[in-house]
């Protein structure tokens, strides 16, 4: 084993680049602590933790098989493991990278244990490891070198990630990895020409938005288990309805509305590489050049600027956009950075779907208006949120919606416009004594919980873009969010 010792993270990165350019090593791995061995996340687990990890991975595969657009990935061998590895599900994969700068970043970035004074870059020549393993007995499965391309897994692409399949809890009993060791200092990260966002993108691909649904449901599973452990706590499991409507209210089985028959474009993820969509990022600087001061005028001007930008740039909806706003757009006393983040999340959620340019622009402008009014300041106060939403979009109703996997989200929508999105023939399926509810959208969504049976798809989609999605990005931070109504199996009141 070779130990190269250098002064700091930058020196380690420069040496790793030199060794890579010379062909001495071709794979690298950054570790915060030089004492840590090269071990997969699965092999670091105890027996019970390993069983839990296997159970979680089985749920993950099942989830992909039942999530539209991910079914094909679920049938593959290595790609699901690559996704799981990058999102914290323990596997026998060990992360490496072909970029020494990325390795240096991970060797210098993170919360270090108190006794961790030195970081390290693991250096690997894959040909050397292959030659070393050739004479090993068959009972020792050989490591595998995996270079995978996983559609829409931006983290993997951003990190130039590769994987070493390593089913051993201490492979270094057999094979010593070479290391570049350096002393940690407070300026490590600033000395490297790489930002955290470059390695772990904050903007999300369609795959990564869907993964939020899985991990939200995982949190619900953990929470449910903890509740069931509580002494003296009783819980009841309600039986599932045979149909997603109330048989006491509905006179006849309701067919799925015909508008939901051609929605494949709304559930098929668009393949989009990180390098194509993200680094060559467009910038829209929302600065008002006029003397506009009234909120309605500011929002209207923002809509005009956004729509004009999309129409003038043919590629605008195929790439991320960095939204820069001035203080007047954000509103008095508001942090413009929070608005820029919300606009980025909303744009990425809407731009890939078959919304019209006008719908995307209206949703963005409405997001600005709701931000200016402070909707994001009351994430745990639905009454205040409802008041703010109603002041802008008219009398609003708080709605909850979710997918079959158990993940869900919430938003606000105009009750008048939501009623207008209800299918025209709903009355004929309601018992005569209850037909008065046709004028009450809250009663309708209580009676029919699946949107496919209650709404005209395109009308509901327009409301998602203009009202529901903007509310989500301001109130549902760090949670699953839905931008396509085609992915919903339930829609109702919280």
Q: Are 183 and 8 in contact (CB under 8 A)?
A: yes
pLDDT value of residue 241 = 67
Helix ranges (H only) for 36-90 are 47-65, 71-74, 79-86
Question: CB-based contacts of 202: which residues, under 8 Å, 6+ apart?
Answer: 341, 344
Q: What is the pTM of this model?
A: 0.89
pLDDT value of residue 240 = 65
pLDDT value of residue 185 = 85
pLDDT value of residue 379 = 83
pLDDT value of residue 299 = 87
Q: Which residues of the chain have pLDDT under 50?
A: none
The two three-digit tokens of residue 286, written as one number: 């929302």
Strand order in the sheet with 490-492: 408-414, 396-402, 490-492
pLDDT value of residue 227 = 66
Report the C-alpha gap between 225 and 63 in whole angstroms: 19
DSSP 480: -
């Amino acid at each position: 084993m070779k130990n190269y010792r250098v002064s700091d993270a930058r020196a380690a990165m420069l040496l790793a680049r030199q060794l890579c350019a010379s062909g001495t090593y071709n794979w690298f791995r950054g570790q915060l602590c030089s004492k840590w061995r090269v071990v997969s996340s699965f092999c670091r687990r105890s027996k019970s933790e390993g069983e839990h990890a296997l159970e979680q991975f089985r749920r993950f595969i099942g989830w992909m098989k039942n999530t539209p657009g991910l079914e094909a990935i679920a049938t593959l061998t290595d790609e699901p493991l690559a996704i799981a590895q990058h999102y914290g599900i323990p596997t026998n994969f060990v992360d490496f990278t072909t970029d020494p700068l990325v390795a240096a970043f991970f060797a210098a970035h993170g919360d270090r244990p108190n006794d961790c004074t030195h970081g390290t870059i693991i250096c690997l020549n894959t040909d050397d490891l292959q030659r070393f393993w050739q004479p090993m007995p068959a009972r020792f499965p050989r490591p595998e070198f995996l270079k995978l391309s996983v559609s829409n897994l931006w983290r993997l692409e951003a990190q130039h990630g590769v994987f070493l399949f390593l089913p051993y809890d201490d492979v270094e009993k057999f094979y010593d990895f070479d290391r570049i060791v350096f002393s940690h200092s407070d300026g490590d990260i600033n000395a490297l020409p790489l930002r955290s966002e470059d390695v772990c993108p904050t903007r999300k691909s369609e795959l990564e938005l869907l993964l939020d649904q899985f991990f939200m449901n995982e949190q619900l599973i953990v929470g449910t288990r903890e509740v069931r452990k509580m002494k003296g706590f009783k819980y009841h499991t309600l039986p599932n309805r045979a149909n997603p409507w109330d048989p006491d209210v509905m006179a006849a089985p309701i067919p799925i509305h015909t508008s939901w028959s051609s929605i494949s474009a709304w559930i098929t993820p668009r393949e989009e590489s990180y390098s194509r969509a993200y680094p060559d990022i467009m910038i829209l600087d929302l600065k008002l050049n006029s003397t506009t001061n009234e909120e309605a005028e500011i929002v209207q001007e923002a809509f005009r600027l956004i729509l004009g930008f999309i129409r003038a740039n043919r590629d605008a909806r195929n790439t991320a956009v960095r939204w820069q706003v001035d203080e007047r757009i954000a509103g008095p006393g508001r942090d413009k950075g929070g608005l820029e983040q919300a606009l980025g999340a909303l744009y990425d959620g809407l731009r890939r779907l078959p919304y019209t340019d006008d719908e995307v622009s209206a949703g963005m402008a409405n997001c600005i208006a709701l931000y200016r009014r402070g909707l994001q300041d009351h994430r745990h106060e639905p009454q205040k949120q409802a008041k703010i939403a109603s002041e802008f979009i008219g009398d609003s109703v708080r709605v909850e919606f979710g997918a079959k996997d158990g993940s869900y989200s919430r938003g606000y929508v105009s009750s008048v416009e939501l009623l207008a999105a209800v299918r025209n023939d709903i009355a004929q399926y309601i018992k005569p004594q209850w037909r008065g509810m046709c004028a009450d959208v809250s009663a309708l969504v209580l009676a029919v919980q699946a949107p496919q049976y209650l709404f005209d798809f395109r009308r509901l989609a327009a409301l998602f873009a203009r009202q529901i999605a903007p509310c989500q990005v301001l109130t549902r931070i760090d949670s699953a969010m839905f931008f396509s109504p085609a992915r919903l199996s339930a829609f109702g009141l919280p």
